[in-house]
Structure 1
Amino acid sequence: MAHPQEFSALRHAAAPGQDGQLAVDMLVKLLDLEKLEEDLFRGLSPAVTLQRTFGGQVAGQALVAAGRTMGPDWEVHSLHSYFLRPGDPAIPIIYHVNRVRDGRNFSTRQVEAIQHGKTIFTLSASFTIPRVGKFEHQDPMPDVPAPETLTPYRELVAGKEDVIGPGITLPRPVELRYVSTPPWERTAGSDETYNRIWMKVDGHLPDDKFLHICALTYASDMTLLDSSLTRHGLTWMRDNVQGASLDHAVWFHRPFRADEWFFYQSGSSSGGGERGFSTGQIWSHDGRLIASTAQEGLLRVD
């Protein structure tokens, strides 16, 4: 696990612009929390964020903390969370787990993420014992091009630092391949109903089912809020949009590997009052619906 003496090394584990296994190994370290005391954990951050900690990192680490208090037979099936304050990437985050309920079929954990003596994030996670049900159904995956036929993200953004911003050079443990128009290529006034993106952890993850769930939680915060802008042909890069996630929820439906391609489609059913509401669905490469997401975010356009 990552300890305080590793903090400096972890913060510089991947050089700017470095993708692939090195960035994935850094993600695994981020998700391997240090246990301080019963139900109390410490998580570190890499020096790869701009001004605040990436929300997917905090959500993934909080879920790890919750899972560390569960037995091996339990699997998380949903999480609901709130972003209360910006995270400071320069210092560790303390995660306190409250064992709300231990039942025969369902158990609940609440997690507080704390920095500078204040709660910056809260998460509630529900765990269950897996069972085989009497029925099963799912929405089919849209007919979209295979990820292998699409341009890798690093090739799409090459030479576009002045358009996309300094975040383009940050280490990326998650590979993206756009089916829909990339945000920086959208023209003013155009609109698309959905954001459609293939994703996968850009390297190999250990064979730990819960780690794959936490890695998907990390990735699920990427591009989801963008779909509220997509409805209006707006983009972060061109239209001087200020935004922040307010909450985030994920439901896990079927087993998967986060280091294999999954398809993420998100759309926005409502926007107003300087807030946008987005929902998403995630399918595995072979068309199984593996997760659903929802998020509301603050959106201000100058």
Structure 2
Amino acid sequence: MTNAPDPISSVLGILRLEDDPSTADQFTGHSLPQPGGRVFGGQVLAQALLAAGRTVPDDRFPHSLHGYFLRAGDVREPITFSVERLRDGRSFTARRTHALQGGKAILSMIASFQEQQPGFDYADDMPSGIPGPDEVPSGLELLGGVDHPVAKFWTQEAAFDVRHVEGSIYVHPAEQPTGHQAVWFRSRGALPDDQLLHRALLAYACDQVMLEPILRRAGRSWMTEGLSIASLDHAMWWHRDVRVDDWLLYVQSTPSAQGGRGLSAARVFTQDGTLVASIGQEGMVRFPD
């Protein structure tokens, strides 16, 4: 298995958006190659958030995001990010970002930013009894011996070390169908001290695993023949500062699936048990008859 010395650097490269000199609050981004040629949803979501952040004062960070994935993007084509300034208040700033290819939206997102303020502070505890990341095998190890283009992509190009506590469903279904899973992850390289970037990278990373509880509950794997799966919408709340180059734990569940759609939720904890984010995503999940 061949690993790049710092795979996160390629992600950082495509997150550096270019200003459009002819149009205010408009930026251009590019995509990383992906199996199948479609833009990775987490990538365009992170880019849209960073585009919005470019129009916001430096002392305000995103606390919530709501986005709809509207069309599949083409990794060969640049993406235009057009930001609309919805509100600039004393404490909160709201922005809408459209990600466009060929003049059509592939993503529409609204994000809210807030300056750091004191207030009533509480959070749920991290579930007890979950093995630490050093006790769980990495997806890089599990996929290293699999002779498949997608497996080779994730082992050679993966920017995040992902570790499934209950065992991965990359190749085979879980032994027991369940709608719950816990996943450790962190970036495969150190990152600059930039809180907007870390929050955007959390959005980037989570799209890899958000729909997995639905597959797990259905007794399926990513290799299920005829599987059709895609993110439809995404909601995210950042509660506290976060670093994605430290270990983070996703505690995930799925309350419902029907009509070819499934809903998944996640709470994200630091290794010391601090709740830093909550996430919800609905996806199209269709299995062969």
Change (3 A) 1:19 1:278: farther
**Which one-letter code corresponds to 2:95 in the other structure?**
R
Aligned match of 2:51: 65
Aligned match of 1:230: 216
Please list the CA deviations of residues 152-172 of structure 1 after superposition, one character each: whole Å capped at 9, or x if unmatched. Answer: 221111222349656445511
Please list the CA deviations of residues 262-298 of structure 1 after superposition, one character each: whole Å capped at 9, or x if unmatched. Answer: 0012111000001001111110111101111001111
**Which one-letter code corresponds to 1:194 in the other structure?**
H
Separation of aligned partners in 2, 1:137 and 1:198: 20
Between 242-251 and 184-193, the greater mean CA deviation after superposition: 184-193
Aligned match of 1:202: 188
Is the Cα contact below 8 Å between 2:164 and 2:184 reproduced in 1? yes
Structure 1 position 236, deviation (Å) = 2.1
What secondary structure does 2:199 align onto?
helix
TM-score by length of 1: 0.89
Aligned match of 1:177: 163
Separation of aligned partners in 1, 2:151 and 2:108: 30
Aligned match of 2:115: 129
What secondary structure does 1:62 align onto?
helix
Change (3 A) 1:298 1:17: farther
Aligned match of 1:34: 18
**Which one-letter code corresponds to 1:29 in the other structure?**
G
Is the Cα contact below 8 Å between 2:167 and 2:174 reproduced in 1? no
Is the Cα contact below 8 Å between 1:33 and 1:43 reproduced in 2? yes
Please list the CA deviations of residues 19-39 of structure 1 after superposition, one character each: whole Å capped at 9, or x if unmatched. Answer: 451x21111111111111420
Separation of aligned partners in 1, 2:245 and 2:8: 9
**Within 5 Å, which residues of 2 pair with 1:1-302?**
18-21=3-6, 23-36=7-20, 37-162=23-148, 167-169=153-155, 171-184=157-170, 186-187=172-173, 190-302=176-288
- How many residue pairs get matched? 286
Structure 1 position 106, deviation (Å) = 1.4
**Which one-letter code corresponds to 1:294 in the other structure?**
G
What secondary structure does 2:204 align onto?
helix
Change (3 A) 1:121 1:185: closer
Structure 1 position 179, deviation (Å) = 0.4
Please list the CA deviations of residues 157-198 of structure 1 after superposition, one character each: whole Å capped at 9, or x if unmatched. Answer: 122234965644551111111101210464478302312110
Any stretches of 5+ residues in structure 1 without a counterpart? 1-15
Any stretches of 5+ residues in structure 2 without a counterpart? none
**Which one-letter code corresponds to 1:297 in the other structure?**
G
Please list the CA deviations of residues 66-112 of structure 1 after superposition, one character each: whole Å capped at 9, or x if unmatched. Answer: 00000111111000000000010001100000001111121110000
Identity of aligned residues (%): 37
